[in-house]
Amino acid sequence: MKEINSMRLEFLSRSANEGFARTAVAVFCSQLDPTLDELGDIKTAVSEAVTNCVVHAYPDTLGKIMVRARIFEDNAVEITVRDWGVGISDVSRAREAMFTTGGDDRSGMGFTIMESFMDVLRVRSVPGRGTTVTMRRKISRRAAK
Domains, the chain, in order of start with CATH, read 3-138 (3.30.565.10)
pLDDT band for position 89 (cuts 50, 70, 90):
confident
How far is residue 114's CA from residue 94's CA, in Å, rounded to a whole number?
13
Catalytic residues: 48, 52, 106
Q: What pTM, to 2 d.p., does this model score?
A: 0.87
CB 67 within 8 A of CB 21: yes
pLDDT band for position 69 (cuts 50, 70, 90):
very high
Question: For position 17, what pLDDT does the model report?
Answer: 96
Average pLDDT value for the chain: 88
Question: For position 54, what pLDDT does the model report?
Answer: 94
Q: Please count the CA atoms within 13 angstroms of the CA of 65 that sit on its side-chain side.
A: 30
How far is residue 74's CA from residue 91's CA, in Å, rounded to a whole number?
29
Closest to 18 measured CA to CA, from 44, 56, 36: 44
Query: Which ranges of the chain does DSSP label H, i.e. alpha helix?
Result: 17-29, 36-52, 91-94, 110-117
Residue 55 has pLDDT above 50, yes or no: yes
How far is residue 130's CA from residue 85's CA, in Å, rounded to a whole number?
4
How far is residue 79's CA from residue 72's CA, in Å, rounded to a whole number?
11
pLDDT tens-digit map of 100-132: 555 445 455 677 888 889 999 999 999 999 999
pLDDT band for position 46 (cuts 50, 70, 90):
very high
